[in-house]
Amino acid sequence: MGPVRGFKRRRKVETKVEPNALVSSEREEPADWWDEFSRRISGPLSLSKDLDKFESVFKVSRKTFNYICSLVKEDLMAKPANFVDTNGKPLSVNDQVAVALRRLSSGESLLTVGDSFGINQSTVSQVTWRFVEAMEERGLHHLRWPATEAEMSEIKSKFERIRGLPNCCGAIDTTHIMMCLSSVTSNDIWFDPEKNHSMILQAIVDPEMRFRDIVTGWPGSVKDSLVLWNSGFFKLSEKGKRLNGKKINLSEGSEVREYIVGDVGFPLLPWLITPYQGKDLSGPRAEFNKRHFATRMVAQRALARLKEMWRIVQGVMWRPDKHKLPRIILVCCLLHNIVIDLEDEVQDEMPLSHHHDSGYRQQTCESIDKNTSILRDKLSLYLSGRLTP
C-alpha cells in the first residue's frame, strides 16, 4: 500500500488470516441482534421497503458484517467509551459497527444517521472515528501488493484473459473526493481544474477490482503524474523492488517485463504502459489502444464501485479534516477489498459502471521513455499478430 497522508499508525500489529478465519465469527453475533436492532431504526430509513434485508442497510452481508466485527472487537472493547443510545442503553460492539458502516455506506449526515438509530450525532461521530482507527490497525492485511510469484502469476493470467495483454500486473487510475471548504481563494491548493475542492485518490487494482496499492491525501490541484512520481510505488518500481518478476519473450530479442497499465495522464515508463496518443492511428496501434482500454477499465470500475458502495466518499465532504479524510478513504478501500475477499454476494447485485469522476477532463502527460515507446510498438505488433518471430 502506498502512503496515506495523515495516517499515523498507533502500534505495530501483525494479523494473519487463517483459512477459516473469515467466517469463524459468524457464531459470535447474538442470534436476535439484528431483530432487536432493526426495531430501533426510525425516521425515513424505517419506511424502506427493503428494511427486512440486512444488506440494504449496511451494503454488506451478515457474514461480512460478522467478520468486520471480529476484526475491530478487541480495539472497540479495549477503551470503553460508555456510548449509549437516547434511551440510555449501552451500544454493543455490533451496534457500534452498525452505526459506522451505515455512516460510511450511506454518506448520510451525522444527524440523519443518529435519528435513524436513536443516538445523538456526536455519538455517531465518535463511534465512526473509533471504527476507522480500529480498521486501520486490524484491516490493513486486506490491502497489499501480491506477496508470492504464484499470486502474481494468477493476476497476470487473469489480466491476459481480458484482452490479451501479456505480463500485466495491475491497472492504475485516480479519482477526486469532493470537499466543501469555506473562505478559500481561487488559488487554494484544494481547488482542482474543474473548479471543485477535492482530494485525490490514486489506486492500482487487480483484475477482480481489488485495491493493491493506494495513495491519497494530495490536493485536487495536483496532476495525476505528479502524484505518481511522489508515490512509494514509483520509488519501489524505479529501484526494481516492484514489478521485477519474470519477463516474457515476444519474439527473438524482444521481451517484456512486468508492468501496469494507465491512461495518457500518466507517463510512459518501463513498468507503466500507456496508450498511444493522437487520432487516425495505424491498425496495430488502434488495436493496441482498444485492448489497453478494455484492460485498464477494471481500475475505473473499481473506483466507481468504491464510490457507489461507500457513499461517504461519493458526495461532498463538508469542512473535512484534511488529516482525517485520507484515513476515512483508506478504510473505505479496506472495506471494498473485504467484500471482494469474502466473495460477498452483495457485490454481484451492484451495477458495473466506470463513471467515477464525471465532469473531469482527461489529463495528458507528455513524459515518454523512448525505449518503452519502442517496446510498446513491438507489443502492439505482437497483439495484432504482425511481430516477426
Portion of the chain with pLDDT greater than 70, in percent: 87
Residue 4, in any domain of the structure: no
Longest dimension (CA), the chain: 77
Measure the N-to-C terminal CA separation of the chain; round to a whole number of Å: 39
Residue 109 lies in a domain: yes
d(CA 173, CA 260): 11
Q: Residue 259 belongs to what domain range? A: 146-321+345-383
Yes or no: say if 58 and 65 are a contact pair by the CB < 8 Å rule: yes
Contact 142, 344 (CB under 8 A): no
Residue appearing with cell numbers 461521530? 125
Residues in a beta bridge with 180: 318
Indicate if 195 and 263 belong to the same structural domain.
yes
- Dihedral sign, Cα of residue 36, residue 31, residue 54, residue 28: positive
Q: Is residue 338 part of a domain?
A: no
Any alpha helices (H) in the chain, and if so which ranges?
33-39, 54-58, 62-78, 93-106, 110-117, 121-138, 149-163, 224-229, 232-238, 283-309, 325-341, 370-383
The pLDDT mean for the chain works out to 87
Count of CB atoms within 10 A of residue 86's CB? 13
Q: Are 101 and 211 part of one and the same domain?
A: no
Query: Same domain for 115 and 191?
Result: no
How many CB atoms are located within 10 Å of the residue 93 CB? 18
44 & 60 share domain = yes
The torsion region of residue 38 among left (phi > 0), alpha (psi -120 to 50) and beta comes to alpha
pLDDT digits (tens, 9 = 90+) for 111-125: 999 999 999 999 999
Whether 211 and 71 map to the same domain: the answer is no
User: Considering the domain boundaries, does residue 1 fall inside one?
Assistant: no
| pLDDT score of 24 | 37
Read off the pLDDT band of 22 (50, 70, 90): very low
Verify that 223 and 367 share a domain, yes or no: yes
pLDDT digits (tens, 9 = 90+) for 153-199: 999 999 999 999 999 999 999 999 998 876 555 558 888 999 888 99
Cell match 436476535: residue? 32
For residue 335, being part of any structural domain is answered with no
Is 326 part of a structural domain of the chain? Answer: no
Structural domain count, the chain: 2
What 3-state class would DSSP assign to 261? Answer: strand
Whether 98 maps to a domain, the answer reads yes
Q: Are residues 179 and 107 in the same domain?
A: no
Q: pLDDT confidence of 5, banded at 50, 70, 90?
A: low
Same domain, 218 and 362: yes
337 within some domain: no
Read off the pLDDT of each residue in 242-248 and give the average, rounded to a whole number.
96
Domain boundary among 125, 141, 157: 141
- Stated pTM of the model: 0.90
Instruction: Among 108, 141, 174, identify where a domain stops.
Output: 141
Residue 210 φ/ψ, nearest 5 degrees: -85, 135
Q: Which of 6-15, 196-205, 351-360 has the lowest mean pLDDT?
A: 6-15
Q: Are residues 260 and 125 in the same domain?
A: no
Q: Of all residues in the chain, what percent carry a pLDDT higher than 90?
A: 67
Last residue of a domain, one of 141, 158, 181: 141
Lowest mean pLDDT among 217-231, 242-256, 264-278: 242-256
203 and 349, same domain (yes or no):
yes
- Based on the fold, state whether residues 121 and 222 are members of the same structural domain: no
Q: What is the pLDDT of residue 49?
A: 55
Asked if 265 and 159 sit in the same domain, the reply is yes
pLDDT tens-digit series, residues 66-120: 999 999 999 998 876 689 888 888 999 999 999 999 999 999 999 999 999 999 9
Q: Which residues, other chains included, contact 259 with Cβ-Cβ below 8 Å and sequence gap of 6+?
A: 167, 168, 169, 243, 270, 271, 272, 273
